[in-house]
């Protein structure tokens, strides 16, 4: 099990920041895609993973001064986009606790916002190194874009009053970071990266500074993280999403941070009804620069060495639980121990959720989105009496129907991003349990609030 700095894995890069600062748009720019346009409500609600290979890094950073693409030692970047809204706190903390380096996106016009500060807290807690993208520079009055140039050059070419506004914004942001006990500097004025955190002005809109941002992430990885990025055979794999795909059945999307997965491996992972033991029947990856989440043709592999975002085909995946670890049993004796291990992880996560005696029932597709939804309900002071992960079935309706005896307003199932089985819907209709479904948390919440108002009338 030799580890060497000559054999580096791709770093897991997490993009964090307040909602609407441009996190998804920055990713889109990196992979030349349009995920942001296609998202439900334009909000990223799940964690997505994109492999950015080294040739794409070279291509996109060729305008950057003092950066030699051919000296890049890492095989690429594995970029994770995370949801920015405040109710996604738990999901964000899952994403960021798994990452090696982060890009903290700040809207240069707005400065530090509540979730920027929350993100800073997570980064400090996990001791994750990060760089700052001062995004939306194109919004400065009369900004002239030159995405084909190094951003330092582009800055010098701006008119005097544009530069003055830029300076003023940057100085304000430096003060705001100082209030968070962080020392930041513009990257091209930072000659001591050990002490100062670098900020890169970017525009995900025009492309200004995007090459500099990528180059800075790579440089930071290679200087600060070389030892951590030495490839290790010890498996480290997290389930991001469980998804039914037409023609493939239920699949799981994972981030393989270390180690390797092989066709035929016996895998053990948590499920809604206890640990699942099955075999890998297919290892798929989207083509480079395509996100795992978006429908794309996949390439098939017999073996994949970390770090990558991977779609796994296997039997019995429909009850798999996202947001948790996946383990591999190298011999049959290990299976029972691994089952206990994965179960312990789930019990810990679910056990920390406190249920009320009276309240709504909540169902979601993943552990992460369930936690996000519960957090949102908590902030809205809506009590919850039951939780479940996976599709709404008969037994869920039966449980929720108990509330009819107490208070009809709680005889409600809030189903986020999950299917409702037909039988369940029929029973719900006949006994009077309301089921609300949505793939945007706010819509679910609005529907419920309206229902409560209607009941009062």
| Contact between 45 and Mg ion per CB under 5 A | no
Verify binding: residue 21, Mg ion, rule CB under 5 A: no
Quote the least distance from Cβ 107 to ligand GDP, whole Å: 8
Q: In whole angstroms, what is the distance from residue 28 CA to residue 310 CA?
A: 19
**Interacting positions 225-244 with Mg ion (CB under 5 A):** none
Query: H-helix or E-strand containing 313?
Result: strand 308-313
Whether the Cβ atoms of residue 102 and residue 167 lie closer than 8 Å to each other: no
Work out which of 10, 21, 33, 44 binds Mg ion, going by CB under 5 A.
44
Kindly tell me the sign of the dihedral angle through the C-alpha atoms of 21, 24, 30, 34: negative
How far, in Å, CA of 257 to CA of 101, rounded?
13
Residue 24 lies near Mg ion (rule: CB under 5 A):
yes
Q: Which is nearer to ligand GDP, 100 or 138 (CB)?
A: 138
In 3-state terms, what secondary structure has residue 112? coil
Site string for ligand GDP, 48-87 (x = CB under 6 A): ------------------------------------x---
Q: In the complex with Mg ion, which residue's Cβ is closer, 24 or 366?
A: 24
Looking at residues 82 to 101 of the shown chain, list those that interact with ligand GDP (rule: CB under 6 A): 84
Per the document, the length of the chain is: 457
Cα dist. 55→70, 89, 178, 305, 335 in Å?
9, 34, 37, 19, 40
Q: Using CB under 6 A, pick the residue from 42, 193, 249, 288 that binds ligand GDP.
A: 42
Residue 249, judged by CB atoms within 10 A of its CB (0-12, 13-18, 19+), counts as middle
Q: Which does 136 bind (CB under 5 to 8 A by kind): Mg ion, ligand GDP, none?
A: ligand GDP
Residue 138 engages ligand GDP in binding (rule: CB under 6 A): yes
- What 142-145 contacts at long range (C-beta under 8 Å, 24+ apart), as own/partner pairs, is 143/203, 145/203, 145/206, 145/207, 145/208
Query: Which of these ranges, 16-24, 26-34, 125-133, 134-142, lies near Mg ion under the rule CB under 5 A?
Result: 16-24
Q: Does residue 201 belong to the site contacting ligand GDP (CB under 6 A)?
A: no
Residue 119 interacts with ligand GDP (CB under 6 A): yes or no:
no
Computed from CA positions of residues 251, 436, 348, 398, in that sequence, does the dihedral angle turn out positive or negative?
A: negative
Q: Which residue of 10, 11, 14, 25 would you call a contact of ligand GDP, by CB under 6 A?
A: 25
Pick the binder of ligand GDP from 11, 12, 16, 23 (CB under 6 A): 23
Task: Closer to ligand GDP by CB, 100 or 107: give it.
Answer: 107
Eight-class DSSP state of 314: -
Q: At its nearest, how many Å lie between ligand GDP and the CB of residue 378?
A: 22
Sheet with 298-301: strands ordered across: 236-245, 249-258, 308-313, 282-286, 298-301
Binding residue for ligand GDP, selected from 33, 36, 51, 388, defined by CB under 6 A = 36
Q: How far apart are CA 290 and CA 215, in angstroms?
A: 20
Cite the active site residues: 85
Sheet holding 12-17, edge to edge: 48-53, 76-81, 12-17, 101-107, 130-135, 197-201, 184-186
Structure tokens at 162: 């544009």
304: Cβ–Cβ under 8 A, 6 or more apart, which residues?
A: 256, 260, 261, 283, 285, 310
Quick one: which of 24, 116, 257, 266 contacts ligand GDP (CB under 6 A)? 24
Q: Pick the closer one to ligand GDP by CB: 82 or 128.
A: 82
Nearer to Mg ion by Cβ, of 9 and 290: the residue is: 290
Q: Which of 9, 94, 136, 293 binds ligand GDP (CB under 6 A)?
A: 136
Q: What is the DSSP string of 393-427?
A: -HHHHHHHHGGGGT-GGG-EEEEES--B-HHHHHH
44 binds ligand GDP (CB under 6 A): yes
Task: Point out which span in 15-23, 127-135, 192-200, 384-392 binds Mg ion (CB under 5 A).
Answer: 15-23
Q: What single DSSP character describes residue 32?
A: T
Among the listed residues 135, 251, 369, 388, the single contact to ligand GDP using CB under 6 A: 135
Is 106 within 8 Å of 201 (Cβ atoms)?
Answer: no
Options 3, 58, 73, 139; binder of ligand GDP; rule CB under 6 A: 139
Q: How far is the CB of 126 from Mg ion (least distance, A)?
A: 21
Interface positions, 394-453, toward ligand GDP (CB under 6 A): none
From 4-12, 13-21, 67-75, 406-414, give the range in contact with ligand GDP by CB under 6 A. Answer: 13-21
**Contacts with Mg ion, residue ranges (CB under 5 A):** 23-24, 44
**Contacts with ligand GDP, residue ranges (CB under 6 A):** 17, 19-25, 36, 42, 44, 84, 135-136, 138-139, 203-205
């Amino acid at each position: 099990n030799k580890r060497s700095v000559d054999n580096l894995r791709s770093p897991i890069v997490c993009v964090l920041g307040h909602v609407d600062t441009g996190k998804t748009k920055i990713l889109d720019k990196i992979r030349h895609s349009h995920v942001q346009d296609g998202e439900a409500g334009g909000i990223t609600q799940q964690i997505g993973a994109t492999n950015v290979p080294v040739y794409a890094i070279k291509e996109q950073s060729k305008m950057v001064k003092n950066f030699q693409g051919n000296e890049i030692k890492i095989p690429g970047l594995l970029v994770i986009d995370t949801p920015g809204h405040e109710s996604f706190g738990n999901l964000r903390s899952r994403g960021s606790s798994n990452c090696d380096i982060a890009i903290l996106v700040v809207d240069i016009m707005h400065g530090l916002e509540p979730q920027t500060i929350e993100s800073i807290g997570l980064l400090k807690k996990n001791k994750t190194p990060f760089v700052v993208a001062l995004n939306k520079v194109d919004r400065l009055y009369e900004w002239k874009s030159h995405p084909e140039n190094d951003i330092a050059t582009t800055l010098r070419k701006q008119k005097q009053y544009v530069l003055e506004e830029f300076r003023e914004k940057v100085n304000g942001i430096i003060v705001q970071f100082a209030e968070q006990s962080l020392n930041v500097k513009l990257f091209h004025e930072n000659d001591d990266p050990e002490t100062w955190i670098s900020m890169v002005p970017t525009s995900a809109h025009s492309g200004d500074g995007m090459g500099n941002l990528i180059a800075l992430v790579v440089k930071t990885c290679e200087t600060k993280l070389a030892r951590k990025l030495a490839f290790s055979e010890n498996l480290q794999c997290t389930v991001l999403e469980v998804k039914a795909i037409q023609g493939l059945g239920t699949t799981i999307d994972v981030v393989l941070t270390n180690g390797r997965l092989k066709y035929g491996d016996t895998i053990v992972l948590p499920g809604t009804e206890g640990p699942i033991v099955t075999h890998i029947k297919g290892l798929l990856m989207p083509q480079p620069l395509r996100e795992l989440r978006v429908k794309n043709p996949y390439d098939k592999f017999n073996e994949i060495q970390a770090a990558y975002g991977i779609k796994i085909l296997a039997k019995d995946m429909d009850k798999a639980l996202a947001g948790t670890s996946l383990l591999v049993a190298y011999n049959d004796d290990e299976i029972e121990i691994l089952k206990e291990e994965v179960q312990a992880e789930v019990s810990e996560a679910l056990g920390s959720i406190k249920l009320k005696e009276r309240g709504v029932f909540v169902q979601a597709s993943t552990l992460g989105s369930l936690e996000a939804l519960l957090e949102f309900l908590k902030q809205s002071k809506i009590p919850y009496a039951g939780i479940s992960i996976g599709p709404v079935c008969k037994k869920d309706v039966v449980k929720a129907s108990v509330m009819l005896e107490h208070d009809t307003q709680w005889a409600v199932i809030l189903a986020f991003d999950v299917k409702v089985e037909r039988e369940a819907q029929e029973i719900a209709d006949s006994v009077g349990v309301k089921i609300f479904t949505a793939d945007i948390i706010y819509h679910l919440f609005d529907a419920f609030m309206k229902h409560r108002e209607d009941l009062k009338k």
